[in-house]
Structure 1
Amino acid sequence: MINFLGNIMGSILRYVYTFVSSVLPSEPSYISYYAIAIIITSIIFKLILLPISLKQINSSRRMTELQPLIKEIQTKYKSDPKTMQVKMQELYKEHQYNPASGCLVLIIQMPIIFAFFAVFRDPATYAFTDPGMYESMAKNFFWISNLDLSDPYLWGLPLLAGLTTYVQSITMMSANPNADPSTQSTQKIMNIMLPFIIFISARGFAAGLALYWVISNIFSIIQQLIVNRSVKKAGGQKK
């Protein structure tokens, strides 16, 4: 599955690279065609996943809205698990909510994300398969001489990867201000741990993979801010 999807994602990267190199009259000295292709392909990838991402966001928001009713049922029928389960199912049916939808969306996304990681770990296998093509390409990106190697500076892409992961987590958390306190507590811990893990990991990543991660996060942050604003506006209109 990963190899199949990786070949598809690799074909997209190859096509974008070919397009960029044909449109630009000459390759900029500070940013290679390959770096530009990674940025554009990352955005295309996020656009492909946009309907799935929006469905996941909506599922999370619906779950938060139902939390008060869920807690009420849990408190009322805590000594009668069978009745509690029946009432929970009735609640979900009444509000047309599938509690498994969020997990299903995540399961759909994961193979695609892993495939994209595979492409950026080994572009010569999945994207640039012509003998010698990948080896002969320029791969510089501003201060990075070769995107195949890790970023030489801690303040570069590793720090940006960690910071954008943190900002993305915060914007997602702000979308559910009425979430269960235990959920919020867990989320706050993850908001600290995950960016740190990403920062440490990105120090060993190929810089091309770290660049993809940063661009992907920036897209997600903008997407979440737009969704948050739309939800807030819709809520204000209802009042």
Structure 2
Amino acid sequence: MMSIFAPITNFFTTMFETLHTFVEGMGVTGGLAYVIAIIILTVVIRAILLPFNIKAAKSTQRMQEAQPEIKKIQAKYKNDPQKSSAELMKYNKDNNISMTGGCLPSLLPLPILMALYYTFYNMDITGSFLWINDLGQPDQLFILPVLAALSTYVPSYLMSKSTPPAAEGGMNMGTMSIAMSAMMGFMALKFKSILVIYWVLGGVIQLATTYFINYKPAMKKKQQVIAIESEKEAARTPKFVMSDYDELNKSSKKKKKK
């Protein structure tokens, strides 16, 4: 397994050691030097992944806009699954919609995590930071595993709120998010603390990018749709005019006099 990641592991090893040496050259030593180095490395990796996240956001937006038409196709050919699939494929191709475009970028951090696992596995890292006695060992207080699970779940939760519901028979994104978060929390129990810090920092950055690139635009669009629907509903509702009331009142008074 390690041979698969050897090229990228060697790259990360060289990069991290260079960053660590640079930080120590600035007069920072001990565990703090390792933490600052991993912060810089995390920011660099996430900056590289950012274009993929933006591309995924655009793909998600196109999927949202296409949902009404997709539902029409599914309803039209509900008794002919083969025809329905063919029409959906044609519609997606004509409108440049990728059903996997929003999912693939979220999987990219996983091979990087595995490469960094082997990077730090062969690296002698020592030093304390905050409550962590040894960055080269798992967190004995289990705070980092909890943070790892949360930093995995929250961005996925926001993404699910800004993503169209899965088609019938599709995988539930909420269930997937919980399973992924639980898996990361469990793995973090055995990982070196320095690696879990990388994952938590990456999760925080992912949370920010998901909020601004996916969640906020989706919620803004949703509010616009609600506002338009409210205006249409208001236009359909008969309006009560004061003059109508005056006419009814006069008519009522005339009847009483008679």
Q: Tell me the distance in 2 between the aligned counterparts of 1:19 and 1:229.
A: 37
User: Which residue of structure 1 aligns with residue 246 of structure 2?
Assistant: none
Which moves more between the two structures, 219-228 or 161-170?
Answer: 161-170
Q: 8 Å contact 2:116–2:195 — kept in the other structure?
A: no
User: Which residue of structure 2 aligns with residue 141 of structure 1?
Assistant: 129
Deviation at 1:37, TM superposition (A): 0.9
Q: Tell me the distance in 2 between the aligned counterparts of 1:18 and 1:183.
A: 52
| Matching residue's letter, 2:36 | I
Q: Tell me the distance in 2 between the aligned counterparts of 1:75 and 1:115.
A: 45
Deviation sequence 1:59-106 (CA, Å, 0-9, x none) = 234334323322321221233345334422331133222335446656
How high is the TM-score relative to the length of structure 2?
0.73
User: Which residue of structure 2 aligns with residue 80 of structure 1?
Assistant: 80
Partner of 2:194, secondary structure, is helix
Q: Which of 198, 206, 212 lines up with 1:212 in the alignment? A: 198
Which moves more between the two structures, 73-82 or 12-21?
Answer: 73-82
**Structure of higher RCO (CA pairs closer than 8 Å, 6+ residues apart):** 1
Q: Which of 8, 12, 31 lines up with 1:9 in the alignment? A: 12
| Matching residue's letter, 1:87 | E
Are residues 110 and 55 of structure 1, via their aligned partners in 2, closer, same or farther at CA, if it must alter by over 3 Å?
farther
Q: 8 Å contact 2:60–2:101 — kept in the other structure?
A: no
Aligned ranges 1:183-198 → 2 under 5 Å: 186-198=172-184
Count of aligned pairs between the two proteins: 222
Q: Tell me the distance in 1 between the aligned counterparts of 2:42 and 2:69.
A: 39
User: Which residue of structure 2 aligns with residue 69 of structure 1?
Assistant: 69
Larger C-alpha radius of gyration, 1 or 2?
2
Percent identity between the two aligned chains: 28
| Matching residue's letter, 2:114 | F
Q: Tell me the distance in 2 between the aligned counterparts of 1:186 and 1:69.
A: 21
Partner of 2:172, secondary structure, is helix
| Matching residue's letter, 2:50 | L
Aligned ranges 1:8-47 → 2 under 5 Å: 8-23=11-26, 25-27=27-29, 31-47=31-47
Q: Tell me the distance in 1 between the aligned counterparts of 2:111 and 2:224.
A: 39
Q: Tell me the distance in 1 between the aligned counterparts of 2:74 and 2:217.
A: 31
Deviation at 1:214, TM superposition (A): 0.6
Q: 8 Å contact 1:35–1:139 — kept in the other structure?
A: no
Deviation at 1:118, TM superposition (A): 2.5
1:166 corresponds to 2:153 = yes
| Matching residue's letter, 1:219 | I
Q: Tell me the distance in 2 between the aligned counterparts of 1:111 and 1:224.
A: 20
